[in-house]
Amino acid sequence: MAKLLAVTIIVIAILSAIPVVMNTWKAPADISTHGHLIDNQMSDTMVEAGVSFLAAQILLAIFIWQFSSPRTDGKVKTFPGGAKGLVIAAIVLVGVEVLALGAFGSKAWAQVYFTPPGVDAMPIQVQAGQFAFYFRYPGPDGKFGPLHPEMINEGNQNLFGLDPEHDVDSRDDIVTAEMAIPVNKEIHLLMHAKDVSHSFYVPALRIHQDFVPGLDLSLHFTATQIGKYEIVCSQLCGLGHYNMRAYLEVMSPQDFDDWQKKQAAAQ
């Protein structure tokens, strides 16, 4: 019985490692400048965790095969007695591995969060609310008008609570339901939630940001490939969460200018 368990453990360990090793489920192609750091971190983690996992499972199977016995009269040694050295080694090894992953991964994190955006980065405001994302561009004056949450009126498409009648800076702001950006241009996202917690997730961009109501979040990235990508909400936010998404269009600079003119005319 014990030998069967040992074999089962080895079989399950190998079967679950095969799809990972063969990269069966590929992440979408990375279209950002910082994405490779995140992908490398992911690979490093999978390799180190994978090796540790296989080693642990194989050792476990060997011990079960070798030392199990139908005898019930033998003295059972108490843990960790006799294997203290091995236990300490295991703790140190795994501990170092986790710390190393954290240290090497900090560069990926810092690239997105701790370095400020360049002065030429294009600011776009993102508002997540039940159950849609809306975006605001500052318009030709380069300034965002003030927000008045009490003036939000979705029936009138005043989604951000702008007051163009009294706020001059709001008059040229462009509010859209889809986010278009020019390719190879650094984008600075200024994000907030209108009501409950949401999350902004674009897998191809390797951008994933939780929204906490009350917090103003800032991150920046540069997209490197033209195309249409899905922005999905990945934090359960209510009964319409399954339907909460928007589309990101990465365009050539010319197409982006045309798009922005068209959107401005529709305000």
Partner 1 sequence: MQMKHAVIAGLVMLGASALAVAGPSGGTVTGKVTYEGTPAKMKPIDMSKEPSCAKMYATPQLVETVVTGAGNSLENVVVYVSAGAPDEAAPSTAATFTQKGCRYIPHLLAFQVNQELKIINDDQTSHNIHPLPKLNREWNKSQPPGTPPISEKYDKAEFIPVKCNVHPWMHGTFAVLKNSHFAVTADGGSFSLANLPPGKYTITAWHESYGDQSQDVTISGTESKTVNFVFKAKPY
203 binding partner 1? (CB under 8 A):
no
240 binds partner 1 (CB under 8 A): yes
3-class secondary-structure state, position 45 = helix
The count of residues interacting with partner 1 (CB under 8 A) is 25
Can you give the three-state secondary structure of 87-141, one letter per residue? Answer: HHHHHHHHHHHHHHHHHHHHHHHHHHHCCCCCCCCEEEEEEEECCEEEEEECCCC
Question: Which of 83, 266 has the CB closer to partner 1?
Answer: 266
- Contact between 131 and partner 1 (CB under 8 A)? yes
Nearer to partner 1 by Cβ, of 72 and 156: the residue is 156
Cα–Cα dist 259/248, whole Å: 13
Of 266, 8, 253, 264, whose CA–CA distance to 138 is shortest?
264
Q: Of 140, 146, 238, 253, which lies in the binding site for partner 1, with binding defined by CB under 8 A?
A: 238
DSSP 142: T
Q: Which residues pair with 186 in a beta bridge?
A: 222
**What string marks each residue from 77 to 116 as x (binds partner 1 by CB under 8 A) or -?**
----------------------------------------
Q: Would you say 204 or 231 has its CB closer to partner 1?
A: 231
165 counts as binding partner 1 under rule CB under 8 A: yes
Residue 142 contacts partner 1 per CB under 8 A: no
For 1, the token pair is 């019985």
Residues that bind partner 1 (CB under 8 A): 129-133, 154-157, 159, 164-165, 176-178, 238-240, 243-247, 266-267
